[in-house]
Amino acid sequence: MEAVVNPRDIHAVLFDMDGTLVDSDAAVERAWTTWAGEYGVDAAAVLAVAHGSPAESVVARILPGLDPTIRAIAAGRQHELQYDDLSDVVPTAGAHELLDLLEQRGLPWAVVTSADQRLATARLGATGIEPKVLVTIEDIAHGKPHPEGYLRGAELLGVPTAQCLVVEDAEVGLQAGKAAGAYTAALKGLDGDLKLADLGQLAAFLAQP
């Protein structure tokens, strides 16, 4: 693991949900593939930009020029395809180990997701993860890569963003974390202040004396 941050400088952790705490990649891809078929667009083009981004912003990129009301309906349809698709949604490797460590250390944490409240509650519930603070797309005006979600999460935890670590598996989320002024931890080979193979590696890092 590459690190350019001291674990003692981290006073709170802000997690993305899909692909970070929750392994839902297959469900996300199934939903977008079905949605692409319904709307007559190329599924590969949709999947190339969908991960980590709010549904409405993806729709706007794929189908520019839609009336805002129609765009919202299209985004809503994408969410509908995911609500009950939980058969293979599980915690990511090391997720519970890391959350247990944060509780032991008294480090507050929150989930900041591009999903809506219903979807976030369903997926977190399926994995047995219960955040005390959850920021969804419905709680903010601007989704990732805008920093608003992470700024809101830090505010609710009562910790300055400069003392927070944002954990992400998507470039748009890392951009949001950096723009918020937080440290970043990157999964899936992406670039951040920490580069992680999995969340168990982050638990070991934060457990250092």
Catalytic annotation, residues: 16, 18
Phi, psi of 93 (to 5 degrees): -60, 125
Helix (H) or strand (E) holding 124: helix 117-127
Question: Could you tell me which of 140, 201, 200 has the C-alpha nearest to residue 176?
Answer: 140
The Cα 121–Cα 118 span in angstroms is 5
Cα–Cα distance measured from residue 207 to residue 203, given in angstroms and rounded to the nearest whole number: 6
How big is the CA angle at 196 (ends 193 and 200), to the nearest 5 degrees? 125
Alpha-carbon 64 to chain mean position? 24
Beta bridge partners of 18: 22
**Are 203 and 109 a contacting pair, CB within 8 Å?**
no
- Can you tell me which residue has the tokens 């977190």? 124
Q: Distance between CA atoms of 51 and 40, rounded to whole angstroms?
A: 19
User: In this structure, are residues 77 and 31 in contact, taking their beta carbons and an 8 Å threshold?
Assistant: no
